[in-house]
Structure 1
């Protein structure tokens, strides 16, 4: 991924905004409905077309019980696929009665009764954006649909721009479609009193500049869709951070919904995602299953210190004070009380120390500055420099406030970091590592003790006592270690190292702490005769590992059915003779989707997805049982399926066995590898010679890796 910012951002750091046509506040949609960025939830990122009344009602309840409503989240938004494909005889949109048996108005009542608001999705074209032609769009029905939404007491509309006529695929026509709905919503409000936030979801398909939207929508998408992977999130940052001049009360740049909690990124990356969106005054629209979110996800989404930054009434979007060209970012956001919110972000794949100053943040000189850590919710003091050592993809966020008098009773800001430990360390390797302590305060930090936390089996040999008597103001101290890495206990391990520094000061007795945590990904390469191959989207990278007879695959993939032929595989080239048996135990499977698949695969050539014939898979899924799929017509695509549900929970671990006799295949499963149940016996006419055979996984998410672990793979 490029470490370079878009040209617009690079220019904005060097050229006055007036010369870019971005000076002065942009004209806002004068409806007063989004004085701060909207906060809420949308079903699309986690559920796609799988939305229904029960999900929305349960999510509204979860927003209350989880504390999200009290933290500021208000909108419960239904995305695409809520309606029947066609309008009724009167030309009205009709909620799908199977999904919404009580209708949208009753659902709005349920949501409103909980102190929340209801949002809905619609499209400016002939059909919506979902696959297969979508559902009826609003083109030519703007006033009718706006009145219907108002009658249903809808409070928010997300308005897409797909499937427009060929003569409407240009800037002027796209703007006109949105103006038509904006005006229709205003008329509906005047007629009914129902106010509706207008979210523009035109993503740049027709070249409309972002500067066109402030007078049309309360918020507008600035990029194409987000995906639940780190690279995509950072790409969106690069686009959206350049647009600060457009943002303000009732007019917000929208870098798309949050992916926090969906599993494609680490918690470190999700914290950066959330902090960056708050710094950029972005709408905070959660996109995960709130009914089952983890404590870590809840902690991120309900972080009130960061939410206060996002919702600050001044309405400023944070700007970079360092250009980020090296992947090291410092962003500053002015706040209404005169303080600044600062986010330090390490975009790179290695730990980095990042610093900024109060002057760079735009603050006037002061005797010192109070630093409110927006994650630990503690306060330290700084003489004017803010330093943090951040792990790969990590961030730190502070509210920086000038002090009216010296902060004698506040501990100095101390940063601790660990360098020298990188991905790729082999077992038994000795690694020189350094712990660095930096004091940004006006006063010394005294009697600092360092606690090094290592993965199981690792050893540390300190080269000096782990106590630092004093770290002077503006100074630093280092401690050297020799670390010995343990042999990996599993293929493709990710291990966590941490450092905690506890210190005291001159005028306070309590202990203050600084922490640093780093994840290390260790390779366990797949060995011959096994080979690896990934048929995945170029935006994601598959990983493969082997440790003895165990294998691990991390791979994305929309599916292996039909033209959606994406997977990661460890295989034996031409290992499946005309007669033989392949067996494996699927030991673990990351459930990215109900139809995530992991198991055995046979094909003439596994490196030719979409076309190679003789194709058979036998896989376990998280919620759809064991599936045997095959290419019945010889075109190299899976077009037939047989399924079976084990009498126990159809999840891993599970044994799978695929038996071949010429063009005949039999798929079976077992709980113990001894007693087998047949899924089906099939014929694959194109399986005419020796074929590749291996283990595979497809996450059923095009842009998000899922992990599967296998053992006892044999081919007889």
Structure 2
């Protein structure tokens, strides 16, 4: 084959790939259930926010509607301000307590307001974190450029207007120890200026997350928080040691540098830590909790992976989130194993402390070998999002945010569905009934209503599933609302039934008829 023929063949292949992608997006668009957002202003996201005394506040008012939009707030505590153009709330509050303010958003089509509570105390992450993590799309190929591109896409796509705000760097950012504190510095070939990256993320109104491990070596074969020498030099002492064994390099070394690492993260301005090792044990968790608490910043503390249930009573008191299992993949088998299996963890979930079945597997994923569209079907993606919202778990996207199609955006921007996840009561939905392998998850909401999901986990046929009022502890006439379509379905007494497609869900709210 000559060079000209080869170039023509490459062009044809690219054209065919683009056509397949366009066709796939057209096919997905017919599954969109979420109504388009109104051009008039609407404030979304959580209604409560936790911050520690004297620590910096970073919160962007999530609001949809035509831009430009102006923002303001009534009854702001001393030391707190709102940027009228961006809606970013900043400052700090020294006196513990609860401060109820009124948020305002206004554009050329109208104005809206919403009550918002700032709780100054020891609890942070009063609703589950919402954001992004680099692993499920880039894995070991993550770079500063890619993280920033996704942060810009988080803002420009409008995800930020629905409450998505964390941009978390996973493993393999690490270089070697040094700098002002002797903490881990970034690999300069992939993250040439970590301070600039964090600044850029914050300027977008987003928050930044980092990854580490108490081990000598991370899962991705980079330097961890301990070492076998006093200098903290990264030395791989043994090759091919099985993971999850208390042997080097997957073990904690004699010399500890966690304090130096936290000082460095605080200097950069990080807001989230994914702390990854196995088995997760209390001493290392408590040590890191104390260091983060005294860092001068509010840093969400996330434990990974496979938290031992035997230790959850103690661990849940000193961590904000904890993984309830191993790594997820974009397959029905992997997703199904997390849908109706989380009940035993529910008693340990509360505002500031959340169970975590792992990151989201929607959109374009790849683990450094892609990107490619998730292997989940549209129905499976609805089941995925519904279960994560009902169970009040962290919503961390693992996809390429620069490749968001209309379907994925609709999946991630349904404010009635997201409100179930962000409900301030912080209850995790549990199974209230089962029909064979299918089940109904339900939970109480802060306004006195209920939310439920009817999940058909069978492979080939639609199933008629029912949620009974007696299973929810209620009786009488209730209005049932389809949360994905944002549409009332009618008034029902005693129960509600629906035909649910295989691998699918019907997600509803149930509120008392006035």
Pair in the same fold by TM > 0.5: yes
Residue 154 of structure 1 corresponds to 270
Aligned to 1:116: 206
SS at match of 2:433: coil
Q: Does 1:374 align with 2:474?
A: no
The answer to whether structure 1 residue 180 and structure 2 residue 287 are counterparts is yes
Q: Quick one: higher RCO (CA 8 Å, sep 6+), 1 or 2?
A: 2
Q: Give the one of 256, 261, 281 matched to 1:145.
A: 261
1:632-711 mapped onto 2 (5 Å cutoff): none
Match for residue 124 of structure 2 among 33, 50, 61:
33
- The equivalent residue for 2:156 is 65
8 A contact 1:156–1:198 mirrored in 2: yes
Of 184, 209, 223 in structure 2, the residue corresponding to residue 135 of structure 1 is 223
How far residue 179 of structure 1 moved from its aligned partner, in angstroms, is 0.9
The answer for the alignment partner of 1:83 in structure 2 is 174
The 5-angstrom pairing of residues 315-714 of structure 1 reads 315-323=426-434, 326-349=436-459, 350-363=461-474, 365-366=475-476, 368-384=477-493, 385-404=495-514
Q: Distance in 2 between matches of 1:71 and 1:280?
A: 19
Do 2:214 and 2:224's aligned partners in 1 also have CA atoms closer than 8 Å? Answer: no
Higher strand share: 1
Structure 2 SS opposite 1:264: coil
TM-score by length of 1: 0.48
- 1:219 partnered with 2:321: yes
Q: Tell whether the 8 Å contact from 2:174 to 2:222 is kept in structure 1 after alignment.
A: no
Structure 1 residue 31, shift from structure 2 partner: 3.1
SS of match in other structure, 2:319: coil
Residues 388-439 of structure 1, C-alpha deviations (whole Å, 9 max, x = no match): 11111010101110101xxxxxxxxxxxxxxxxxxxxxxxxxxxxxxxxxxx
Residue 232 of structure 1 is matched in structure 2 by 334
Q: Secondary structure at the match of 1:320?
A: strand
Give the 3 Å change call, closer, same or farther, for CA 242–160 of structure 1 in structure 2.
Answer: same
Alignment: residue pair count: 355
Is the 1:117–1:155 Cα contact (8 Å) retained in structure 2? yes
The question of whether the paired residues in 2 share the 8 Å contact of 1:237 and 1:255 is answered with no
Q: Determine whether 1:291 maps to 2:405.
A: no
Residues 519-558 of structure 1, C-alpha deviations (whole Å, 9 max, x = no match): xxxxxxxxxxxxxxxxxxxxxxxxxxxxxxxxxxxxxxxx
1:199 and 2:289 aligned? no
> 1:353 & 1:372 partners in 2: Cα distance?
17
1:242 paired to 2:351:
no
Please state how far the C-alpha of 1:93 moved relative to its aligned partner.
Answer: 0.6
**Structure 2 residue aligned with 1:533:** none
1:202 to partner: Cα distance: 3.6
User: In angstroms, what is the RMSD of aligned CA positions?
Assistant: 1.9
Give the CA deviation at 1:207.
6.6
Give yes or no for contact 1:124–1:178 (8 Å, CA) kept in 2. no
- Structure that is richer in helix per residue: 2
CA distance in 2, matches of 1:87, 1:149: 13
Distance in 1, matches of 2:353 and 2:472, equals 24
- Using the size of structure 2 for normalisation, the TM-score is 0.66
**What is the rounded CA distance, in whole Å, between the counterparts of 1:343 and 1:222 in structure 2?**
21
Q: CA deviation at 1:208?
A: 4.7
- Structure 2 residues without counterparts, runs of 5 or longer: 1-120, 227-251, 366-373
Offset from partner CA, 1:66-92 (integer Å, 9 cap, x none): 1111101110000001111x3238742
